[in-house]
Chains A and B, each alone.
Chain A
Amino acid sequence: MAVELRLKELSKKEDLFTHGHRLCSGCGAPIVVKMVLLASEYPLIACSSTGCLEVSSCISQYTAWKVPWIHSAFENAGATIAGVETMYRAMKKKGKVDKEIKFVTFCGDGGTYDIGLQSLSGAMERGHDMLYICYDNGAYMNTGIQRSSATPLGAETTTSPAGKVIPGKTQERKNLTRIMAAHDIPYVAQASISYWLDLMKKVRKAFSIKGPKFMNILSPCNRGWRSRTDDAIMLSRLAVDTCYWPLYEVENGVTRITFKPKEKMPIVDFLKPQGRFRHLFSPENEWIIKKLQEDIDREWKRLQKESSLQA
Chain B
Amino acid sequence: MARIVAVTGNEAVAEALRQTNPDVCAAYPITPATELMQRFAAFVSNGQVDTELILVESEHSAMSACIGAAAGGGRVATATSSQGLALMWEMLFIASGMRLPIIMPIVNRSLSAPINIHGDHSDAMGARDSGWIQLWSENGQEAYDNTIQAFRIAEHMDIRLPTMVCMDGFIISHSIERVEYLEDNEVRNFVGEYKTLNPLLDIDNPKSYGPLILTDLYHEYKRAQHEVMTKVRGVILNVAEEFEKISGRRYGLFEAYRLDDAEIALVILNSAAGTSKDVIDEFRERGIKAGLLKPRLFRPFPYEEIADALKHLKAICVLDRADSFGGYGPLFAEVSSALFQVRERPKMVNKIYGLGGRDFLPYHAERVLSELVDITKTNKVRIVKEYIGVRE
Contact = CB atoms under 8 A, between A and B. Distances in A.
A83 B64 contact: yes
A281 to B, nearest CB: 38
Nearest to B198: A68
B391 interface: no
B91 A73 contact: yes
A67 B74 contact: no
A91 B57 contact: no
A90 interface: yes
B61 to A, nearest CB: 4
A80 B24 contact: no
A15 interface: no
Contact of B212 (A47, A55, A73, A91): A55
B22 to A, nearest CB: 9
Interface in B182-228: 200-203, 206-214, 216-217
Given A90-B50, A90-B74, A58 B69 contact: no
Contacts of A93: 50, 52
A87 B24 contact: yes
Interface in A10-67: 43, 45, 47, 54-55, 58-63, 65-67
A78 B202 CA distance: 21
Contact of A82 (B54, B91, B200, B213): B54
A90 B68 contact: no
A170 B60 CA distance: 31
A282 B314 CA distance: 81
A60 B57 CA distance: 33
Contact of A43 (B26, B56, B203, B217): B203
Nearest to A22: B212
B71 A70 contact: yes
B111 to A, nearest CB: 21
Contact of B24 (A70, A79, A83): A83
A63 B65 contact: no
B40 to A, nearest CB: 15
B65 A71 contact: no
Contacts of A91: 23, 72-74, 201
A45 B60 contact: no
B130 interface: no
Contacts of A82: 54, 56, 61, 65, 68
Contact of B206 (A60, A66, A122): A66
A99 interface: yes
Interface string B322-359: 00000000000000000000000000000000000000
A154 to B, nearest CB: 32
B57 A118 contact: yes
B200 A60 contact: no
Name the residue in A54, A84, A89 with the highest tally of chain B Cβ atoms < 10 Å from its Cβ. A84
A122 B57 CA distance: 6
B67 A80 contact: yes
Nearest to B58: A118
A63 B203 CA distance: 15
A63 B211 CA distance: 8
A91 B68 CA distance: 14
A175 interface: no
B104 interface: no
A8 interface: no
A234 to B, nearest CB: 30
Contact of B69 (A63, A83, A97): A83
A60 B210 contact: no
B204 to A, nearest CB: 9
A240 B327 CA distance: 59
A80 B217 contact: no
B55 interface: yes
Interface in A73-107: 73, 75-76, 78-91, 93-94, 97, 99, 101
A166 to B, nearest CB: 32
B80 interface: no
A90 B54 CA distance: 11
B60 A90 contact: no
A83 B67 contact: yes
A90 B210 contact: no
Given A59-B212, A60-B216, A84 B68 contact: yes
A43 B324 CA distance: 49
B24 A59 contact: no
Contact of A97 (B55, B201, B214): B201
A80 B90 CA distance: 14
A119 interface: yes
B341 to A, nearest CB: 38
A47 B50 CA distance: 26
A99 B72 CA distance: 14
A72 interface: yes
Interface centre among A54, A59, A68, A118, by most chain B C-beta atoms within 10 angstroms, is A68
A73 B61 CA distance: 11
Contacts of A66: 206
Given A59-B214, A72-B91, A83-B72, A90 B23 contact: yes
15 contacts: A45-B201, A58-B208, A59-B214, A65-B208, A69-B208, A70-B208, A73-B90, A75-B60, A79-B61, A80-B68, A83-B71, A84-B201, A86-B72, A99-B203, A119-B64
Interface of B: 23-24, 26, 50-52, 54-58, 60-62, 64-74, 76, 90-91, 94, 98, 200-203, 206-214, 216-217
The 4 closest A-B pairs by CB, nearest first: A83-B68, A122-B57, A87-B72, A71-B210
